[in-house]
Amino acid sequence: MKRRIAVVNGPNLNWLGKREPKIYGTQSWAAIWGALEKWGRRNEVDLDYFQSNHEGALIDYLQDASGRAAGIVFNPAALAHTSIALRDCVAMLPVPLVEVHLTPIQKREIFRHHSHVADAAAATISGFGPDGYFLSLALLKHLLQLSSPVRGP
């Protein structure tokens, strides 16, 4: 059975590979997305992707995606630390959402230690670089299989 998962990125993640490579690495989002698409094909999961630098556009997309995707992987980036509106949006979604951060937010600047999104998410994965997206997808796939009416190996 095919599943659809939305992968959503917040501000400045369109600059991966160029943005502070000592912190965020040198891999571009295009390279990461290509690997994620391969993961999706191998795992029979259709992936949608959206990125915005604008809080309202992210909220609109999350609300819309929850009507067509079984789950969402969301990297809210810096908005995790500032946006109550994103937190409220995540809390009302009818599908599971896994929050992901490339860097270990608890080991960064103190203003990054708290994520407003975390308490509304099914889980938060932080500090694994691009592998965090794969971990998030695998966790969502697992959560979706557990919640399906028929379980199998």
Residues acting as catalytic residues: 24, 101
- Please tell me the number of Cα atoms within 13 Å of 138 on its side-chain side: 7
Phi-psi region of 12 (alpha: psi -120 to 50; beta: other; left: phi over 0): left
Answer whether 76's CB lies under 8 Å from 99's CB. Answer: yes
Rounded CA-CA distance 102/75 in Å is 8
Work out the burial of residue 14: count CB atoms within 10 Å of its CB; fewer than 13 is exposed, 13-18 middle, 19 or more buried: middle
Answer whether 69's CB lies under 8 Å from 48's CB. Answer: yes
- For 87, other C-beta atoms within 10 Å of its C-beta total 19
